[in-house]
């Protein structure tokens, strides 16, 4: 009997040991599962955090890039072309004594004509005021004015012309050194540092070279004379190339312009409506106006093609960029100029709109 009790005791002891081991194993398994779940959650959080960190780092890097632009203005054209920065992000160094480093290798009071980064000041201007932007379209550079224009120039402009081998350049009309003097009157009344300024009207500067009697209101859209003939010189306001070739063109790809990209700048030379279209609409709750001058979506392109096929109405996109531009909705030509009937519609209509229901051609109303 005593031996039997001993065996039972041993069996129970062994059973308890097994249960104890089993409970430990189960506990460890549960902890492993919990840790696995926790680690997966941490992993997911880490991925999200890394993504956010990368986003913030990219923002900081871009901010640093923009802040350093004036120290490296020669990089601006390349950054604009690669679209790493926008034209609106190019900082303005003018009338700011802490920004002399943009064009000079020395700051503020040490900056002078001997320490210009680029001895050709026009090259320095071009880094920000690139060929093709609105500024360059206002007046061409690197041309020689005739004797008649030189005869009416002020003495300071003639002296400047001698420094540039008789060529009109930025400094012919803009006295960049005025900024160095920081005279209060010039800062507020001559912000564009015009030579001989300030002027009550910008045209007063123009009349230093151009004759007042030739300054009559010019309408480039009046392109056909009383007999129905195209007025050749009106074509060259926007286009370059042989006028006869322009007259024969039936497609936008067959004509060229004075500028390659952002053809809107041609229109903005006279029509300063920004933002447009939609700038005058008052039903935008956020107060933000829509930007239509972008590449249309696949769906919008499909509607444009449908409009061309079904309505025989062409709404052209900018050739170089494929973006919507002013002439997508407005026909800048007079009747009888465009040979392609689908592209000729809208000529001389109200606001020169290609269609009375122009919004419906892209948007589902």
Pairing of strands 239-240, 256-257: antiparallel
Tell whether 77 is covered by a domain. Answer: yes
- Mean pLDDT across 131-149: 73
- The per-residue pLDDT for 111 is 81
- The per-residue pLDDT for 211 is 82
Which band of pLDDT confidence, cut at 50, 70 and 90, is reported for residue 302? very high
Tell whether 134 is covered by a domain. Answer: no
What percent of the chain stands above pLDDT 90?
18
- Mean pLDDT across 316-340: 91
191-200 pLDDT, tens digit per residue, is 889 998 888 8
- Quick check: 16 pLDDT over 70? no
87-120 pLDDT, tens digit per residue, is 778 888 888 888 888 888 887 778 888 888 887 7
Tell whether 25 is covered by a domain. Answer: no
- In this structure, are 258 and 337 located in the same domain? yes
- In this structure, are 181 and 269 located in the same domain? no
What percent of the chain stands above pLDDT 70?
79
Choose between 146 and 27: higher pLDDT.
146
- Quick check: 20 pLDDT over 90? no
Q: What is the mean pLDDT of the chain?
A: 80
Tell whether 26 is covered by a domain. Answer: no
- The per-residue pLDDT for 306 is 92
Number of domains in the chain: 3
Tell whether 226 is covered by a domain. Answer: no
- The per-residue pLDDT for 22 is 55
- The per-residue pLDDT for 279 is 52
R_g over Cα of the chain: 35
- The per-residue pLDDT for 36 is 56
- The per-residue pLDDT for 11 is 47
- In this structure, are 323 and 351 located in the same domain? yes
- In this structure, are 236 and 321 located in the same domain? yes
Q: Which residues pair with 257 in a beta bridge?
A: 239
- The per-residue pLDDT for 7 is 47
- In this structure, are 187 and 266 located in the same domain? no
- In this structure, are 148 and 124 located in the same domain? no
Spatial CB neighbours of 292, under 8 Å, sequence gap ≥ 6: 277, 278, 324
- In this structure, are 181 and 93 located in the same domain? no
Predicted TM-score of the model (pTM): 0.51
Tell whether 83 is covered by a domain. Answer: yes
33-72 pLDDT, tens digit per residue, is 555 555 554 455 688 888 888 888 889 999 999 888 888 8
- The per-residue pLDDT for 313 is 92
Backbone angles phi, psi at 213, to 5 degrees: -65, -20
Which of 216, 251, 283 marks a domain boundary? 216
- The per-residue pLDDT for 268 is 81
Highest mean pLDDT: which range of 30-34, 80-84, 257-261: 80-84
Tell whether 82 is covered by a domain. Answer: yes
231-279 pLDDT, tens digit per residue, is 998 898 899 888 888 888 888 888 988 887 788 888 887 776 655 665 5
Cα–Cα distance, 212 to 217 (Å, whole number): 11
- In this structure, are 275 and 208 located in the same domain? no
Which of 129, 160, 179 marks a domain boundary? 129
- Mean pLDDT across 135-140: 67
- The per-residue pLDDT for 135 is 60
- Quick check: 13 pLDDT over 80? no
Q: How many C-beta atoms surround the C-beta of residue 10 within 10 A?
A: 10
- Quick check: 154 pLDDT over 50? yes
- In this structure, are 251 and 333 located in the same domain? yes
- Quick check: 134 pLDDT over 60? no
Tell whether 309 is covered by a domain. Answer: yes
- The per-residue pLDDT for 213 is 76
Which of 65, 96, 129 marks a domain boundary? 129
- In this structure, are 207 and 279 located in the same domain? no
- In this structure, are 319 and 347 located in the same domain? yes
Give the structural domain span for 66: 54-129
- In this structure, are 64 and 149 located in the same domain? no
């Amino acid at each position: 009997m005593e031996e039997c009790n001993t065996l039972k005791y041993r069996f129970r002891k062994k059973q308890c040991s097994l249960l104890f081991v089993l409970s430990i194993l189960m506990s460890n398994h549960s902890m492993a599962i919990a840790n696995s779940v926790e680690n997966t959650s941490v992993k997911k959080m880490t991925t999200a955090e890394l993504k956010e960190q990368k986003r913030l780092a990219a923002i900081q890097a871009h901010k640093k890039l923009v802040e350093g632009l004036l120290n490296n203005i020669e990089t601006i054209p390349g950054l604009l072309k690669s679209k790493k920065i926008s034209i609106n992000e190019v900082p303005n160094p003018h009338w700011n004594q802490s920004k002399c480093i943009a064009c000079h290798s020395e700051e503020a009071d040490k900056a002078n004509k001997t320490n210009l980064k680029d001895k050709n000041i026009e090259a320095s201007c071009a880094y920000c005021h690139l060929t093709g932007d609105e500024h360059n379209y206002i007046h061409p550079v690197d041309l020689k004015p005739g004797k008649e224009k030189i005869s009416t120039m002020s003495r300071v402009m003639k002296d400047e012309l001698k420094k540039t081998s008789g060529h009109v350049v930025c400094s012919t009309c803009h006295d960049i050194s005025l900024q160095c003097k920081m005279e209060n009157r010039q800062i507020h009344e001559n912000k564009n540092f015009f030579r001989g300024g300030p002027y009550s009207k910008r045209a007063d500067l123009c009349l230093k070279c151009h004759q007042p009697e030739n300054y009559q209101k010019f309408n480039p859209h009046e392109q056909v004379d009383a007999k129905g003939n195209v007025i050749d010189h009106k074509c060259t306001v926007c286009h370059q190339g042989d006028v006869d070739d322009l007259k024969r063109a039936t497609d936008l790809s067959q004509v060229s312009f004075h500028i390659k990209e952002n053809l809107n700048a041609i229109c903005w030379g006279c029509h300063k409506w920004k933002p447009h279209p939609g700038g005058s609409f008052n039903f935008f709750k956020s107060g933000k106006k829509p930007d239509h001058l972008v590449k249309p979506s696949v769906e919008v392109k499909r509607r444009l093609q449908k409009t061309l096929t079904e309505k025989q109405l062409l709404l052209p996109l900018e050739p170089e960029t494929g973006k919507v531009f002013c002439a997508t909705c407005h026909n800048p030509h007079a009747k009888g100029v465009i040979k392609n009937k689908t592209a000729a519609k809208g000529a001389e209509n109200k606001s020169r709109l290609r269609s009375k229901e122009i919004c419906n051609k892209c948007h589902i109303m």
